[in-house]
Each structure stands twice: as structure tokens, then as C-alpha cells.
Amino acid sequence: MITKVHVNQHHIKANAKGENKPVFTVKTYKENVKGNKAVIKDKAGNVVATFVYSPDKPLSCGAKVWLETELTVEVLCV
């Protein structure tokens, strides 16, 4: 089953103005689940990556949303 994680930039902008909307939508063919944190797990149930929304403590570059993992990440130019 394919799972897609959508980052809603409109909710990020609305939250900057005082609202409290979930910024992630995790989509499958069965359902859409919304929240402010999403974890990716392997088949054994171990967390291998985390989507983070941190408006109060952004990264030094100013990013409020990012993905964290201890796995190797390969960047492709397609």
C-alpha cells in the first residue's frame, strides 16, 4: 500500500496567525489522517524517520517543518 505524507502550507501560514490546524495529512487509499507529527516505522515497528512541525522552535535556517532520520538519505536530481 502506498502512503503519502502531505504538508499543508496553508495550515502552517494560518497557525502563524494564531490558529491551531494540523499541518500533516497522511494519505492512503483507505483514509486520510491529520496531525502535527508523523512517524515512519519499519516492518518491525521501529521508528526510522519522523516528520516534525515545530513553529515555536524552528531550525536555525527558519524551517518549521522537517524530516528527521538516522538512516542514510540519498538525494536525487530528477
Which pLDDT score, from 0 to 100, does residue 44 have?
A: 97
Which pLDDT score, from 0 to 100, does residue 78 have?
A: 85
Cα–Cα–Cα angle for 22, 25, 29, rounded to 5 degrees: 150
What sign results for the dihedral spanned by CA atoms 51, 70, 64, 56? Answer: positive
pLDDT, tens digit only, all 78 positions of the chain: 899 999 999 999 999 999 999 999 999 999 999 999 999 999 999 999 999 999 999 999 999 999 999 999 999 998
In DSSP terms, 50 is beta-bridged to 39, 68
Look at residue 26 and give its three-state secondary structure. Answer: strand
Which pLDDT score, from 0 to 100, does residue 1 have?
A: 87
In angstroms, the CA 20 to CA 34 distance is 12
Which pLDDT score, from 0 to 100, does residue 13 have?
A: 96
